[in-house]
Amino acid sequence: MKIIVCGAGQVGVNIARQLAMENHDVTIVDQAPDLVRRVSDTLDAQAVVGHASHPDVLERAGIADADMIIAVTLTDEINMVACQVAHSLFDVPTKIARIRQKSYLAPMWANLFSRDHLPIDVIISPEMEVARAVARRLRIPGAIDMIPLADGAVTLLGVRCTEECPLVNTPLKQLTQLFPDLNIVVVGLVRDGNAIVPKADDQMLTGDEVYFVVDTAQITRAMTAFGHDANEARRLLIIGGGNIGLVLAQEIEREYPWVKAKIIEHNKERAEYVSGQLDSTVVLNGDARDLEILEEANIRGTDTVVAVTNDDESNILASLLAKKFGCDRTVTLVNTSIYEQLIGSLGIDVVVSPRNITVSTILQHVRRGRIHSVHAVREGLGELIEAEALETSDLAGKTLKEIDLPSGVVMGAIVRDGKMLFPRGTTTVEAGDRVILFSAPESIRKVENMFAVQLEYF
């Protein structure tokens, strides 16, 4: 596909890098010459200097024969106008825009983005996506990642192996012998910052981050098997009352009314505004790095701290202070990729990357074939792909041992009629099945082809 990416920030560059690796024809547009120069030097993509919503700039970028435009500049209005120009002047089939201002996203104005007004096919709201991702992680104590799949029938979980983990040094092929009734498939490992696509003889070691697919009904058993059996958090402290913190608090009030939540926001006016938007959440005005404000928030009696300010260093430092004063669990928002590699060694429990979450959301609309969802699992590790097997798919009617999966691809689960089937060699894939696969980056295009809609299907 030919894809125009507007915006050379972290999200734009990461999505361009991912698409270029898969041999898409990618052009990135930004008005900052230094960012454009960096793209030209580091990515296999074209780069154009200019205002992303100007027709002449988009024309120079090749919008006339583009299949898709992805507008992820820092300004909502530029993203919206870029999509409007792409539609009205160049008839681009698919238009994706990042929109952060909540007023645009209010349900009462939903008609704004219809084809007759501002024709945007997919709207990405990073704050809402991140808030949902954090809320999911809070649901399962001990999980560093949690993604529901196949309408909730199965779940991807990520855990960190501690010295207390009973499965350390156990070959993966023995998991089914140890837990014959537990539907669990390990699809990825991160060891010393390096991604590993596991084989049957591989073992989990202390310090490994383990990603596995499990029957949702068996999550508690799976977490116990990995040595994590903590209770769900009931006392929550959110550090940062920005858009993410506010949306998260609203979701907690709506979905988890038994949780007692507090927010620390350093800006007085913002703290007053946030307080007015919430019903039961206590909002404190102060610096979360100040011991007195932490004491006022009862940090020693808090189960979980979620640090979601706009500053990575503040989030990390506040999380470390929370751990020092006895907080059981910390969830830390980190935008800079280099910090992600340090989180485990610092003792912080969970890292949340807005960039990775936004890229994952965009990718599921880029993928070809009958692909329902895509989730980037830790930067560089690969993608978890949920796809539907059609009658003409290469998989349909074959047993798993007859299917020649590409190198770097692991079968995680098959979901049929809302129930998870453990993927064994004798399991037959039927048309209509939801298939959960993990793929290393270099094999993603091959996975797309496996689920492509063939001409005879029509």
Alpha-carbon span 123 to 361, nearest angstrom: 10
Q: pTM for the whole thing? A: 0.79
* Closest to 288 in 3D by CA, of 280, 278, 296: 296
CA distance 102 to 285: 23
Measured distance CA(451)–CA(444) in Å, rounded:
11
In whole angstroms, give the CA distance from residue 289 to residue 320: 10
CA-based radius of gyration for the chain:
23
Q: Delineate the domains of the chain, giving CATH numbers in brackets.
A: 2-124 (3.40.50.720), 235-327 (3.40.50.720), 367-457 (3.30.70.1450)
User: What's residue 368's pLDDT?
Assistant: 65
SS (HEC) of the chain: CEEEEECCCHHHHHHHHHHHHCCCEEEEEECCHHHHHHHHHHCCCEEEECCCCCHHHHHHCCHHHCCEEEECCCCHHHHHHHHHHHHHCCCCCEEEEECCCHHHHCHHHHHHHCCCCCCCCEEECHHHHHHHHHHHHHHCCCEEEEEEEHHHCEEEEEEECCCCCCCCCCEHHHHHHHCCCCCEEEEEEEECCEEECCCCCCECCCCCEEEEEEEHHHHHHHHHHCCCCCCCCCEEEEECCCHHHHHHHHHHHHHCCCCEEEEEECCHHHHHHHHHHCCCCEEEECCCCCHHHHHHCCHHHCCEEEECCCCHHHHHHHHHHHHHCCCCEEEEECCCHHHHCCHHHHCCCEEECHHHHHHHHHHHHHCCCCEEEEEEECCCCEEEEEEECCCCCCCCCCEHHHCCCCCCEEEEEEEECCEEECCCCCCECCCCCEEEEEECHHHHHHHHHHCCCCHHHC
Dihedral sign, Cα of residue 227, residue 230, residue 236, residue 242 = positive
How far, in Å, CA of 352 to CA of 148, rounded? 16
Residue 79: half-sphere exposure toward Cβ, Cα within 13 Å: 26
Q: How far is CA 95 from CA 79, 85, 225, 428, in A?
A: 10, 10, 44, 37
> Which residues contact residue 390 at a Cβ distance below 8 angstroms, ignoring those fewer than 6 apart?
370, 396, 431, 451, 453, 454, 457
**Pairing relationship of beta strands 409-416 and 184-191 according to DSSP bridges:** unpaired
Q: Give the pLDDT of residue 455.
A: 39
Give Dmax over CA atoms of the chain in angstroms: 69
Backbone angles phi, psi at 186, to 5 degrees: -80, 125
CA distance to 203, 287, 317, 353, per residue, from 268 (Å): 51, 11, 21, 27
Listed residue (332, 333, 329) closest to 303, CA to CA: 329
Instruction: Please give the pLDDT value at position 456.
Output: 39
Strand-pair partners of 388: 434
Task: Round to the nearest angstrom and report the end-to-end CA distance of the chain.
Answer: 22
**Tokens read off for 287:** 């610096």
pLDDT mean by block of 10 residues, the chain; 458 residues:
92 87 90 90 91 95 95 94 95 92 79 81 87 84 86 90 87 87 88 83 89 91 85 86 92 88 95 94 92 90 92 91 88 80 72 83 75 75 84 84 87 90 89 89 81 50
Task: Please tell me the distance from the alpha carbon of residue 79 to that of residue 103, in angstroms, as a whole number.
Answer: 15
d(CA 279, CA 332): 25
> What is the identity of the amino acid at 166?
P
The tally of CA atoms less than 13 A away on the side-chain side of residue 238 is 32
Rounded Cα distance, 278 and 287, in Å: 20
